[in-house]
A and B are shown apart, each in its own frame.
Chain A
Amino acid sequence: MVKKINLTLISILCIISYFSIPYYRNWAEEKFFAEGQGIEEQYPMLGLQQRMTYRFGKTYLMYLEIARMIRSTKDKNALLLMPRDSQLKEGKVRDFLSCEPAVFYYFTGLKSVFANSPAAKDVNWVVTIEHNQPNLRRITTPELRKQLLDTYLKYK
């Protein structure tokens, strides 16, 4: 029994030594004990939207707002022209990231395209950049659509 107790003390020492190594100590602190990561902090927020927002941040909320605004117009053929990240960066937009059509559909149930998509000729909504903020605009004329596509095509 004494030998088993000695081995138990050795195992405790091993564990303490292992997590005293700076790399693993930092990893454990970031992974398990960082603010907002604990089960006790997350347990009160079990709503699906809360968890989605926790994971995907402000951009996700903005996608939902875009979808809400489009749906409020009851447009059943909405197709959104999404800017590229390079365009958002140039426009100094913060807290909003572009996403590909599949991901936007996953979050909102609405269809979107980039300017180089074959379906882009049918876009009737667009996310523009005004005063360093993303804005949703409806495309009302073919000339406006062409102008927007020509501009958005410059960004990759």
Chain B
Amino acid sequence: MNAAGLLLLLIAHYFTGRGIIKLFNLHIKPIENFGLSLMVGVAFISVTPNLLQFLHIPIVKTNVIYGVVALACACSLPLLIKFKVPRIGKLTLPQLYEIPFFLVFLFIIVVSVWRCFYLPATARDMIAGPELIAEYAVREGTLLNSVFSVDLSTTNNHFKSSYITGLQIVYKLMVAPFGQLWLSVIVIGFLIFLYSILRSRLHPLLACFIFLLFLTIPDVYAYTYLILYDYSNMIFFFSGFYFLTAFLTEDKPKSYFLFSSFLFGLATFVRTDTAALIAMLYPMMWFQYYRKKAPVKDYVFSASLLAFPFIAYIICIHIFLPAFVPFKFDVSNEINPNLGDVSFLFQRLQDIFTLLIFSAHGLQVYGYFIHTFLFLLIADAVVFRKFSKQSSIILYGIVLVVVGLAILSYLLPLVDLRNTTKRGLFKAVILMVFYMANSNLLQRLSSFIYKMELPKDENKAATMINRNEGLKENSKEKVMVAAPNKQKKK
């Protein structure tokens, strides 16, 4: 393995992502910025081989290195605008009671990274598509290589997004022959981002437990070292949803909305069918605007949610595909010819629950995670009888993913239950994690644990509370969680 190549890529990913994020002028925590920068940087670096191909530059190691460096420098330019020497703020060390969990997380993640490095690409969808094209691009120096002289009639994987192909080429040339380690980079960046969100909403003990629940979902964990599109798609979809929720519920500026659209665009670049799910967010958004009595211009502005997904779709289907795959891709061949028969839609929806989620197979795939989520949901509904605005939006997102996947299966018969739908539900699973972070019950429990933990000195308590930055604003529930001692005075 080429450690220097990996280090160069890590730096390139970070600065590329950091520069892109700077354009949106977000005020997020440094640790969240770090995680997001890695994620966004990985996605952007994936287009390096495509750019080289467009410029008729051979895809060899030296050229790829120059390409990566050039792209990172270009994307880092926004960092020079109003440049200030970064101040390293006070480092927040983990609490003593987080350390046992952190040791478990470290062990699980180290094993994942090792397997990502050690094992070759395994999934049939990869070795019959993106990995195959990448391997021969590395051998022959071009994306338009001898792979396309082979009989590809048994597969359509060569039509898939060039996201994985590009990353595999970069990592095979710069890091290790099997590539793949970009997946570990994006996984680690996402897990850092996710844990920071959990910790900002819940007591660290609860945040750790929820994080452990998520990390040990069998299939989700497996795809942290088996390259496929779905884990990357999940994290970009979730991140876009997170910023959209922040915009709708925490009065964040429009830059959050645009950043949400941007992240949804990356999710669409990874899997183009995601655009259909994003479009289904509109009813929820418009309902929120209606409740707030928002002006007409907000409704008009909301159209921009699909701006970046649309651009990503055009790049994938109408620019990259014709340029890099010498076969015609006709979407109409994929569409269900029997759209009049809607019974298939309802059957697929039923199958998602009976044959996938609540079945022996579902247990192998998702463990008890979904059962835990449902238990919590029912407890919240029974005990509190209402959901916060954030929780309602998240629940809409979960339903949207499930129903949206059924609709996609109905429209595109290739979206099968045991593979595409199973992995597509990862997007619902991560939203369930987000729901748990906003659960009324868990927030009450969090408040209780803080009361147990906090010293009686109110000043110290206030300092501890300020660390819980997730919910500082106006709802009653937020006041109760953010200020457990003040609740006593009430």
Hey, which bits of chain A sit against chain B, CB under 8 A?
3-5, 7-8, 10-12, 14-15, 18, 21, 23-24, 27-28, 31-32, 39, 42, 46, 48, 51-52, 54-56, 100-103, 105-106, 111-114, 117-119
Contact = CB atoms under 8 A, between A and B. Distances in A.
A73 B446 CA distance: 72
B128 A39 contact: no
A23 B101 CA distance: 19
B288 interface: no
Interface string B126-152: 011101100100000000000101111
A117 B151 contact: yes
Contacts of B122: 55-56
A119 B98 CA distance: 61
Nearest to A102: B128
Contact of A51 (B120, B129, B149, B452): B120
B8 interface: no
12 contacts: A3-B453, A11-B101, A15-B104, A15-B212, A32-B111, A51-B120, A100-B154, A102-B157, A105-B132, A106-B128, A112-B151, A119-B151
B99 to A, nearest CB: 7
Nearest to A16: B100
A11 B124 contact: no
Given A24-B216, A24-B367, A101-B154, A11 B131 contact: no
Given A39-B111, A106-B132, A10 B205 contact: yes
B155 A51 contact: no
Given A24-B216, A27-B216, A106-B131, A7 B97 contact: yes
A8 B100 contact: yes
A89 to B, nearest CB: 18
Interface centre among B98, B127, B135, B151 (most CB of A within 10 A): B151
Mostly, the B contact residues are helix
A8 B205 CA distance: 9
Interface string B214-241: 0010100100000000000000000000
B4 interface: no
Contacts of A14: 205, 209
A48 B96 contact: no
Interface string B141-172: 00000010111111101100000000000000
Nearest to B157: A102
Nearest to B454: A3
A103 B128 contact: yes
A64 to B, nearest CB: 14
Interface residues of B, number: 48
B120 to A, nearest CB: 5
B445 to A, nearest CB: 12
B147 A8 contact: no
Interface string B98-114: 11110010011001001
Interface centre among A23, A28, A102, A119 (most CB of B within 10 A): A102
Contacts of B367: 23-24, 27
A23 B363 contact: yes
Nearest to A113: B151
Nearest to A46: B118
A102 B132 contact: yes
A117 B154 CA distance: 9
B205 A11 contact: yes
A31 to B, nearest CB: 8
Contacts of B363: 23
A7 B96 contact: yes
Interface centre among B107, B132, B154 (most CB of A within 10 A): B154
A105 B147 contact: yes
Contacts of A5: 96
Contact of A102 (B98, B104, B127, B212): B127
A5 B205 CA distance: 12
Nearest to B363: A23
B40 interface: no
Nearest to A48: B177
B100 A15 contact: yes
B114 A39 contact: yes
Contacts of A56: 120, 122
Given A102-B129, A102-B132, A18 B212 contact: yes
A51 B135 CA distance: 16
Interface centre among A11, A46, A48, A51 (most CB of B within 10 A): A11
Contacts of B100: 8, 11-12, 15
A32 B99 CA distance: 20
Contacts of B118: 42, 46, 51
Contacts of B96: 4-5, 7-8
B475 interface: no
